[in-house]
């Protein structure tokens, strides 16, 4: 056992913003924040990533919206939410009042939507960063997923960059459902993204063998949970290798400190916890504590030292 | 617009299994809990983690609370009636006394108890009868007349413990196969019971198709209908957005609301009951 008479530095940087620890909620898995605040103070985690907010109120998709799968689940919520105006009026002031650091996730149906959302957010106080969701699998037409095509990914991100001003860091959330995620990542960084959020859910389907129809009303849904963790590790590893200076918010099936550590070794500067929260409301807190213990046990003096550590040369 | 919040009494805890007994098609499970036993009201539910550490079942399972109380010896207990259907409920139904399960409870809304004595009809489908017996006791304590109708596909699937039967004025059974009570659905016997007993309020719990049919009858007779809905949930605490139903709010606008927070007990007349796998027209944000 090594001496630990120093204070372990658990803080991390999201572009030019520093947060006290690297554990975040994953977009769309923390409600408005209020629900989880009954189980732990939101200021105890690095930041709350909000649900992906759109321009207008949105009902989301019909039920069934969910199917459990081996070590995971499919969802087709369809970005249910109140729209940006009500969100700014209710959610943001409440999160600020809790002392939570806030990463606002935004999603648009058109490039113009992203531009308008960025303009509405540019002068809102209390926001640490933007996560630009260009990869939701539950949009009207899967063919329109911005992150599946370098050109549309670029358009959406540059629209946000142009309209947000130079202040707020923006993280582009990408889909793993592409042939070459590195080329998409390179494109959005070139278009002005300060960082990346990897990975969104993977498109999947479950067929009910009793009814002999797809289980979800929308037939397809996004797969999340530990089942997709190796895909997340692979995507983060590949992108970090190509773009070592671009901060990555890693996510995909993290359910323990060990899992979070795996994504950090691959190259993540922060870790979002999503599906694990459904099974355990205090998952983010236990993962944070476990990760800190693992890092100290392994002999890291700072969290920063561990980022991308799996990329070091073998001796 | 006020943001709805989860049941403010909800706590996460490890609860030891005190007993687990097979009763017909169901398991009656008693859990040792803390003071949440005093806060759990009929209609509230519990979300339970299943499968143990490292399980491939990543989502909580929601169960209606059958009964919760502080025993004379000071021990809080929460009782559940579990139908071992899927892998999660089968795992729970096979827990031995002394083992622990992780629970979050009490969650959701409870059945409303009238301030004046009324003539109430309680309707349960299958294991949906579970929360109705504690409700019946509360209503009786308020001086209400309580009639009960329980329905299921077959006699073995009717959950009606002896002490439950004692807490009601009349008990009517229906089964699809006629193996107990009247052959048919609960909705077949409702109109005559409502008329004969001059029912003023209906409380129900069971499958959605049954709740929808009861709502039609309740509306026809102008009777209040509080129903406990059953939409599949991933979390039980309002963060996954999977358990939604179209429900009309006080402002007259129908929204997709989370049944884990604004339910499971809801005013049946405000729910847009629909079998279609589409968002009904007119829902906010469609």
Distance from CA of B277 to the nearest CA of A (A): 5
Residues on chain A touching B257 (C-beta within 8 angstroms)? none
pLDDT at res. B240: 96
CATH number at residue B55: 2.40.30.10
Residue A4 pLDDT more than 60? no
Q: How far apart are CA B119 and CA B137, in angstroms?
A: 14
pLDDT for position B276: 78
CA A93 to each of CA A88, A97, A262: distance values in angstroms, whole numbers, following the listed order: 7, 6, 34
Report the share of chain B in percent with pLDDT over 90. 87
CB contacts, 8 Å: A56 with chain B: 285
- Please tell me the predicted confidence (pLDDT) of residue B160: 82
Contact: B239, A277; criterion CB under 8 Å:
yes
* Among B83, B107, B131, residue at a domain's last position: B107
Nearest Cβ partner for A29 among B233, B240, B255: B240
- Domain shared by B169 and B264, yes or no: yes
Domain that holds residue B250: 119-270
Across the interface, whether the CB atoms of A217 and B278 are under 8 A apart is answered: yes
Whole-number average pLDDT of chain A: 95
Confirm if B204 and B124 have CB atoms less than 8 A apart. yes
Has residue B128 been placed in a domain? yes
B283 within domain boundaries: no
Helix (H), strand (E) counts: chain B: 6, 15
The verdict on a CB contact (< 8 Å) between A60 and B235 is no
Q: Is B59 on the interface with A (CB under 8 A)?
A: yes
A148 is catalytic: no
Does residue B185 share a domain with residue B76? no
Residue A5's pLDDT band, with cuts at 50, 70 and 90, is low
What average pLDDT does the structure give for chain B?
94
Within a 13 Å sphere around the CA of B250, how many CA atoms are in the beta-carbon half?
3
Residue B245 forms contact with A (CB below 8 Å):
yes
Chain B nearest-CA residue for A275:
B58
- Are the C-beta atoms of residues A248 and A268 closer than 8 Å to each other? yes
B84 and B173 both lie in a single domain: no
Q: What is the pLDDT of residues B101-110, one digit of tens each?
A: 999 999 999 9
Q: Which of B6, B240, B245 sits opposite A278 (nearest CB)?
A: B240
B1 belongs to a structural domain? no
Are B128 and B257 in a shared domain? yes
pLDDT band at B24 (very low <50, low <70, confident <90, very high): confident
**pLDDT tens profile A109-165:** 999 999 999 999 999 999 999 999 999 776 555 557 899 999 999 999 999 999 998
For residue B127, what pLDDT is reported?
85
Give the pLDDT band (50/70/90) at residue A251: very high
Q: What is the pLDDT of residues A43-69, one digit of tens each?
A: 999 999 999 999 999 999 999 999 999
B42 touches chain A (CB under 8 A): no
Give yes or no: residues B157 and B191 share one domain. Answer: yes
Question: Are both B19 and B87 inside the same structural domain?
Answer: yes
Closest CB to A71 among B56, B102, B278: B56
Q: In B102-161, which ranges are continuous DSSP H helix? A: 132-141
Q: Cα dihedral angle (A136, A239, A25, A228), rounded to 10 degrees?
A: 70
pLDDT band at A1 (very low <50, low <70, confident <90, very high): very low
Within a domain: B276: no
pLDDT at B3: 65
Residue B33 and residue B101 in one domain: yes
Measured distance CA(A192)–CA(A27) in Å, rounded: 21
**Are B173 and B182 contacting, i.e. CB atoms less than 8 angstroms apart?**
yes
A–B: how many Cβ contacts below 8 A?
A: 124
| Pick among B105, B242, B258 to test the A interface (most A CBs inside 10 A) | B242
Given a contact cutoff of 8 angstroms between Cβ atoms, the answer to whether B32 and B77 are in contact is: yes
Residue B167's pLDDT band (cuts 50, 70, 90): confident
* A84-105 pLDDT tens trace: 999 999 999 999 999 999 999 9
| B67/B139 same-domain check | no
HEC profile of A184-199: HHHHHHHCCCCEEEEC
- Tell me how many domains chain B contains: 2
Say if the Cβ atoms of B256 and A59 lie within 8 Å. Answer: yes
User: Are B150 and B251 part of one and the same domain?
Assistant: yes
> Which member of B3, B231, B285 has the closest CB to residue A57?
B285
Is the pLDDT at A3 greater than 70? The verdict is no
* Average pLDDT of the residues in A268-283: 98
Of A39, A75, A86, which is closest to B1 when you measure between CB atoms?
A86
Residue range A12-62+76-206+223-311, CATH number: 3.20.20.70
Q: Which of A136, A197, A203, A227 is catalytic?
A: A136
Residues B134 and B66 in one domain: no
pLDDT band at B162 (very low <50, low <70, confident <90, very high): confident
Q: Measured between alpha carbons, how far is B111 from B41 in angstroms, rounded to an integer?
A: 8
CB A80 within 8 A of CB B257: no
Residue B172 is part of a domain; what is its CATH number?
3.40.50.80
Residues from chain B that touch A225, judged by Cβ atoms under 8 A, are 58
Residues of chain A in contact with residue B57, where contact means CB-CB under 8 angstroms, are 68
Inter-chain touch B242–A66, beta carbons under 8 Å: yes
Backbone CA torsion sign across A288, A290, A293, A295:
negative
B86 and B124 assigned to the same domain = no
pLDDT at residue A6, as a whole number:
65
Q: Is the pLDDT of residue A169 over 60?
A: yes
Q: How far is B109 from chain A (nearest CA, A)?
A: 15
Shared domain check, B98 and B140 = no
Closest residue in B to A32 (Cα) is B239
| Mean pLDDT on B66-89 | 96
DSSP labels, B181-239: SEES-HHHHHHHHHHHTT--EEEEES-HHHHHHHHHHHHHHT-EEEEE-----SSSSSS
Do A278 and B235 make contact, defined as CB atoms within 8 angstroms? Answer: yes
What confidence score (pLDDT) does residue B164 get? 73
């Amino acid at each position: 056992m090594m001496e630990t008479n120093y204070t372990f530095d658990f803080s991390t940087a999201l572009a030019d913003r520093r947060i006290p620890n690297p554990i975040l909620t994953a977009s769309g898995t923390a409600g408005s924040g209020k629900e989880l605040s009954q189980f732990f103070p939101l200021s105890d985690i690095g930041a709350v990533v909000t649900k992906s907010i759109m321009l207008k109120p949105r009902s989301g998709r019909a039920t069934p919206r969910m199917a459990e799968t081996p070590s995971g689940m499919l969802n087709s919520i369809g970005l249910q939410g109140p729209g940006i105006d009500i969100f700014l009026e209710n959610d943001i002031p409440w999160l600020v009042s809790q002392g939570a650091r806030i990463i606002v996730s935004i999603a648009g149906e058109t490039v113009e939507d992203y531009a308008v959302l960025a303009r509405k957010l540019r002068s809102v106080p209390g926001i640490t960063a933007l996560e630009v969701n260009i990869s939701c699998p539950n949009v009207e037409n899967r063919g329109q997923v911005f992150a599946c095509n370098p050109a549309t990914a670029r358009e959406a991100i540059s629209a946000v960059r142009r309209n947000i001003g130079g202040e707020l860091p923006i993280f582009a959330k990408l889909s793993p459902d592409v042939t070459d995620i590195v080329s998409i990542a390179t494109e959005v960084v070139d278009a002005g993204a300060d960082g990346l959020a990897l990975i969104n859910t993977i498109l999947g389907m479950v067929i009910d063998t009793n009814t002999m129809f797809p289980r979800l009303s929308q037939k397809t849904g996004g797969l999340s949970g530990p089942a997709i963790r190796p895909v997340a590790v692979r995507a983060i590893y590949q992108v970090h290798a190509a773009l070592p200076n671009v901060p990555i918010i890693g996510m995909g099936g993290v359910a323990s400190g060990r899992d979070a550590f795996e994504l950090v070794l691959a190259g993540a500067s922060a870790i979002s916890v999503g599906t694990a929260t459904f099974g355990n409301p205090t998952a983010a807190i236990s993962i944070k504590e476990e990760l800190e213990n693992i890092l100290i046990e392994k002999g890291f003096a700072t969290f920063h030292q561990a980022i991308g550590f799996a990329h070091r040369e073998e001796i | 617009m006020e943001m709805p919040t989860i049941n403010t009494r909800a706590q996460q805890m490890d609860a030891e299994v005190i007993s687990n007994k097979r009763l017909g098609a169901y398991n009656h499970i008693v859990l040792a809990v803390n003071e949440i036993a005093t806060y759990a009201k009929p209609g509230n539910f519990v979300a339970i983690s299943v499968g143990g550490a490292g399980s491939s079942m990543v989502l909580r399972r929601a169960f209606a609370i059958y009964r919760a109380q502080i025993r004379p010896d000071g021990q809080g207990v929460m009782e559940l009636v579990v139908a071992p259907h899927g892998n999660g409920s089968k795992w729970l139904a096979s827990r031995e006394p002394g083992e622990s399960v992780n629970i979050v409870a009490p969650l959701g809304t409870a059945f409303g108890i009238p301030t004046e004595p009324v003539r109430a009809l309680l309707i349960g489908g299958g294991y949906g009868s579970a929360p109705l017996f504690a409700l019946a006791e509360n209503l009786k304590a308020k001086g209400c007349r309580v009639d009960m109708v329980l329905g299921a596909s077959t006699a073995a699937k009717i959950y009606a413990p002896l002490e439950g039967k004692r807490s009601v004025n009349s008990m009517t059974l229906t089964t699809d196969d006629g193996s107990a009570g009247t052959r048919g659905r609960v909705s077949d016997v409702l109109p005559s019971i409502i008329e004969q007993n001059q029912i003023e309020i209906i409380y129900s719990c069971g499958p959605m198709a049954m709740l929808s049919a009861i709502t039609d009858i309740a509306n026809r007779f102008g009777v209040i209908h509080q129903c406990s809905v059953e939409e599949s949930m991933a979390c039980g605490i309002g963060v996954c957005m999977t358990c939604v139903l179209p429900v009309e709010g006080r402002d007259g606008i129908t929204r997709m609301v989370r049944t884990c927070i604004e339910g499971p007990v809801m005013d049946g007349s405000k729910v847009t009951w629909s079998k279609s796998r589409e968002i009904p027209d007119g829902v906010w944000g469609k």
